[in-house]
Structure 1
Amino acid sequence: MSQPTDAETTGRYLVLLDDKSVAAGAREMNRVAGISAASTADSATRAELAAADGVIFQDLGIAVVNATPDQVQQLTRAVDAPGPISVVEAERVVHAYTAPPDTGVDQAAAPAVDESVFTWGLQAVGASISSATGKGVRIAVLDTGFTVAHPDFAGRAVMTQSFIAGETVDDAHGHGTHCIGSAAGPRKAASGGPGYGVAHEAEVYAGKVLSNQGSGSDSGILAGIEWAIANGCAVVSMSLGASVRPGTPYSQVFEQAATRAMAKGTLIIAAAGNESNRPGKVAPVGHPANCPSILSVGAVDVQRAIAFFSCGTVDSVGQVDIVGPGVDIYSSWNKDDGGLGPHKRIQGTSMATPHVAGVAALIAEKHNARGWELWARLAQTGRRLGLPSTDVGAGLVQAP
């Protein structure tokens, strides 16, 4: 069994099934371990899901199950034998990525650049001068939800779904609303502030996979990914994850989820993480961004320098693929904050990720690119910054 190192776990397990025979995998789980899982393909009710030992995400070929130590042992034995069960992993706890403020920096102050019309982030990625708008492209942001009544999205259709039991999609945290704003918010804020949305005409799908306290689990992310695929989203933006130690293997379950999503035309983009404290400490790319088939995003500041918190490539497991603006980022928020109206300035690879996702939507619109082609075109836009590729990958993402 693949076990996350030093990671918080939920006590449940992820089981990767043969995607060509998910039904056979379900039967095998029942045969070898007595586990009965409900499938999303059967449109199971919440009551049916609650009564089952777990749930199978049919489109991903992944089960999330409750299992005793004896059942886990039986599943692990099945992995070693020929059959439809290929991987068993402990389910991780994940969090919204938030970066601490840089000591001695006034976080309420705007960066030293003219933001009277557009934020420095939009200018840095070239979205402010691009003819592409993201129109007709669906982008899913999996996070803490969305402030449905936000004035900057008045009249805008936003599809929402909560995957957190007992919580509506409404964002009492703020992180998700901020990320949605950067990815696909307006080019003219209702408050008269600067425009801050990269793909301002994209169709937004807001999936709540993190609670109002900013935490969740692998199963919530997988549910959100399946929902995004089912709704034809070209891009999934995930500013979340779990930190890992150097050398920790990436999740084989999430790697397969990403490749299966790509095969259906959905590119997953995820934050690299904020555990570094440069220049002294560079932390490895976190889970699930360290998977080879998930596009990993680091952060730079207004001077195009690597952000002190941005995780980097430190070993052969995970790498930074590209970077986006991630410091002093102005975007939508869930409440009035410091006289900015329902907007706030925060920082993190969480803020860089939706900038990259927004640019991906612009490229998807302009070139009708999906999946691996979209990844390739996105990477090709990278502007060289004179920084190590271990920190910035292909460089600073650029709009078409």
Structure 2
Amino acid sequence: MKERFLVLRRVVTPSTPPAGAEAAAARTLPDVQVHTLDRRDVQELRSDPGVRAVAPSMPVRLITPVQRSAAPTATGPTWGVQAVRADTSPRSGAGVVVAVLDTGIDVSHPAFSGVTLIRRDFTGPDDAEGGVDDQGHGTHCAGTIFGRDVEGQRIGVARGVERALIGKVLGSNGGGTSEGIARAITWATQQGAHVISMSLGMDFPGLVAQLITQGLPPELATSRALVDYRANLDLFGALADYTRAFGGDVVPTQLIAAAGNESRRQQDPDWEVSVAPPATADGFTSVAAVGLGSAGRPDQGLVVAPFSNTGATVAGPGVGVVSARMGGGLVAFSGTSMATPHVAGVTALWVEALAAAGDLTRLTLETAVRGHATRAPLVPDVDKLDVGLGLVQAPQT
């Protein structure tokens, strides 16, 4: 039986690379190809020295918000914008390019007025121009990253961003494929994205069910899904390496992904699920979610969201997050999907700050975002595994 496989070919560096402006144009992007193969042919393909990774196309799903509610009537910055200190930062994200790989975007929403939106639809085979949101999730996430003020409320962390890449990788049912994600990451990097935000995860149960419907017994289907899962992790880790290497010191692309919402601490404190892929892949920054505690203040007593998966790199506000609603207005969502765009927005602010100082490289950017994360606003007994390095913080100079 033939299946679709992703093939990541190695980047070939010229023996005498050009200098100056020509260098950026000459750099070769990771070559992600799709082949229809029999599994028996895969091992031979992996032995090709020009191939870095091979993985079957795997189902990907939206990390669905655990709660949706009407947005409270308020003015000024949301609690999440305050918690990451974007409201006191002199940076706005001006000159920074961000990419949101999600369900698309509502281009008519006033939150995105004045932003150049470059859109592609990766839910089909031809990467067509498009990317209109018919689900609402992508609109909400984009609003948190770079949305302008709506109805007197500040929702955007980096509301000075003027160019955004919108990759529609999930359909109206919240489903997609790792193939679409890989193509979208390559496209966003080629377009000069400094930050790529992804609030999605690989659908392991969905893959098992798919294999069972194809006639495999449950035990074999689970074993096959584990092999495919590991292959996809390797491919996304390799893609992250190449993406960061392509950017080098000119466009240091950061891949930021949600940790997942499968934990159930409200039922059992020990019911904690580890970070879900692709956030677990090497080179990705995984994001946990925190919420307001009993003090009700964004600067103290924050708690880990009961649904937030454990083992993340950093944390962001993810409970009762107010942002753009598809069709207009505002809505409040909760989930690590909501925490991720806060981290993406803060990263955009750091890109601007480091560029202004003439010190923007991949290493300085990662060090700034992770090194300024803090556990100070969290409850004293917070489990460090649940929040990683802590809550990200925007630059203050």
TM-score bracket, shorter-length normalisation: 0.7 to 0.9
Q: 2:103 aligns with which of 141, 144, 166?
A: 144
After superposition, residues 136-285 of structure 1 pair within 5 angstroms as 136-165=95-124, 168-186=130-148, 188-189=149-150, 192-202=151-161, 203-242=163-202, 249=230, 251-263=233-245, 264=247, 265-278=252-265, 279-285=269-275
Query: 1:298 and 1:289 mapped to 2: Cα distance?
Result: 11
Structure 1 residues 194 and 75: alpha-carbon distance in aligned structure 2, compared to 1, 3 A threshold: same
Q: 2:349 aligns with which of 341, 354, 362?
A: 362
Relative contact order, higher structure (CA 8 A, sep 6+): 2
Query: 2:177 and 2:74 mapped to 1: Cα distance?
Result: 37
TM-score scaled by length of structure 1: 0.77
TM-score scaled by length of structure 2: 0.78
CA contact (8 A) 2:119 2:129 kept: no
CA contact (8 A) 2:103 2:136 kept: yes
Matched residue, 1:63: 33
Matched residue, 1:15: 7
Amino acid at match of 1:389: K
Residue 293 of structure 2 is aligned to residue 311 of structure 1: no
* 1:169 to partner: Cα distance: 1.3
Query: 2:102 and 2:326 mapped to 1: Cα distance?
Result: 13
Query: 1:62 and 1:216 mapped to 2: Cα distance?
Result: 17
Query: 1:207 and 1:285 mapped to 2: Cα distance?
Result: 23
CA contact (8 A) 1:234 1:267 kept: yes
CA contact (8 A) 1:326 1:349 kept: yes
CA contact (8 A) 1:244 1:285 kept: no
Superposed CA offset, 1:37-81 (max 9, x none): xxxxxxxxxxxxxxxxxxxxx7223322222x3xx21221342x4
Query: 1:223 and 1:78 mapped to 2: Cα distance?
Result: 20
Matched residue, 2:65: 99
Query: 1:207 and 1:370 mapped to 2: Cα distance?
Result: 25
Amino acid at match of 2:363: W
Q: 2:282 aligns with which of 289, 292, 300?
A: 292
Residue 379 of structure 2 is aligned to residue 379 of structure 1: no
CA contact (8 A) 1:167 1:211 kept: no
* 1:220 to partner: Cα distance: 1.1
Matched residue, 1:39: none
Query: 1:234 and 1:353 mapped to 2: Cα distance?
Result: 15
Q: Secondary structure at the match of 1:260?
A: helix
Structure 1 residues 372 and 11: alpha-carbon distance in aligned structure 2, compared to 1, 3 A threshold: farther
Amino acid at match of 1:362: L
Query: Which segments of 5 or more consecutive residues in structure 2 lack a partner in the other structure?
Result: 14-27, 206-225, 294-301
Query: Which segments of 5 or more consecutive residues in structure 1 lack a partner in the other structure?
Result: 1-9, 22-57, 314-319, 336-340
Matched residue, 1:342: 329
Q: 2:314 aligns with which of 319, 322, 336?
A: 322
* 1:98 to partner: Cα distance: 1.2
CA contact (8 A) 2:8 2:239 kept: no
Identity %: 37
* 1:82 to partner: Cα distance: 5.9
Amino acid at match of 2:335: G
Matched residue, 2:392: 397
Structure 1 residues 140 and 211: alpha-carbon distance in aligned structure 2, compared to 1, 3 A threshold: same
Q: 2:42 aligns with which of 72, 75, 85?
A: 75
Could you say what the CA RMSD is over the residues aligned between the two structures, in angstroms?
Answer: 2.4
Q: Secondary structure at the match of 2:154?
A: coil
CA contact (8 A) 1:93 1:216 kept: yes
